[in-house]
Chain A
Amino acid sequence: QQPVQSPQAVILREGEDAVINCSSSKALYSVHWYRQKHGEAPVFLMILLKGGEQKGHDKISASFNEKKQQSSLYLTASQLSYSGTYFCGTESPRPSNFGNEKLTFGTGTRLTIIP
């Protein structure tokens, strides 16, 4: 079952903040975040492992609450380059030691930044 992302779309002015949520009905081992610009391949942003960690680089950060099976992506002081569709991908617990586990992606959140 796909994780649910909210909102489905958001329009911001440059410099405003945004929060994108990802919620799963299944227990999670990790959450991945990717951004895809129109006509391009998805690009990796970050991975959060169970343990409730929070990560971030530059002005994009994320949190993962494994008890609530939720993750949130925070974009602060948004820039035009942040525009695109953001996907969360979730992994179930007990991954193997090798290779990728099956990633189940949400349907995406389209973020538009206007000047």
Chain B
Amino acid sequence: KAGVTQTPRYLIKTRGQQVTLSCSPISGHRSVSWYQQTPGQGLQFLFEYFSETQRNKGNFPGRFSGRQFSNSRSEMNVSTLELGDSALYLCASSLGQQSREQFFGPGTRLTVL
């Protein structure tokens, strides 16, 4: 069974640009969560989607947005990039109902110059 995949694995952008990251969950998983990981802040929750609906949202500015498609694949978008957005972005998928174990993807390393 294939694991969670994320594309691209590495990205270099400049300030002010926009970026879209993609996450394909494990087959059959309907919940996708996104996290930002930095050395100083650890794992910070961005948002969670279930059946194309955003169910939970973390404390990030509106520049961070996401969506989920009918096949459970999810994308997150960051607009007007800032230097502080440089981080590892992880997505995690889960079965959903009565299952809380999250399976993490390898992440996308975003560097903002």
Contact = CB atoms under 8 A, between A and B. Distances in A.
Interface stretch (A13-21, A40-48, A63-71, A75-83): A40-48
Contacts of B101: 44, 47
Interface class of chain B by DSSP = strand
Contacts of A87: 42-43
Interface residues of A, number: 26
Interface in A5-51: 30, 32, 34, 40-44, 47
Given A105-B43, A107-B42, A100 B102 contact: yes
Given A99-B50, A100-B31, A100-B33, A41 B104 contact: yes
A50 to B, nearest CB: 13
Interface class of chain A by DSSP = loop
A40 B105 CA distance: 9
Contacts, number: 77
A100 B96 CA distance: 6
Given A100-B48, A100-B94, A2 B106 contact: no
A99 B42 contact: no
Given A87-B42, A99-B30, A42 B48 contact: no
How many B residues touch the partner, as a band?
Answer: 20 to 34
Contacts of B96: 98-100
B45 interface: yes
Contacts of A108: 42-43
B24 to A, nearest CB: 14
A105 B33 CA distance: 13
A62 to B, nearest CB: 14
- Most chain B Cβ neighbours within 10 Å, of A43, A100, A107: A100
Contacts of A97: 97-98
Interface of A: 2, 30, 32, 34, 40-44, 47, 87, 89, 91, 96-108
Interface of B: 4, 30-31, 33, 35, 41-45, 48, 50-51, 55-56, 58, 90, 92, 94, 96-98, 100-107
Given A102-B56, A105-B43, 4 more contacts: A41-B104, A100-B94, A100-B100, A107-B42
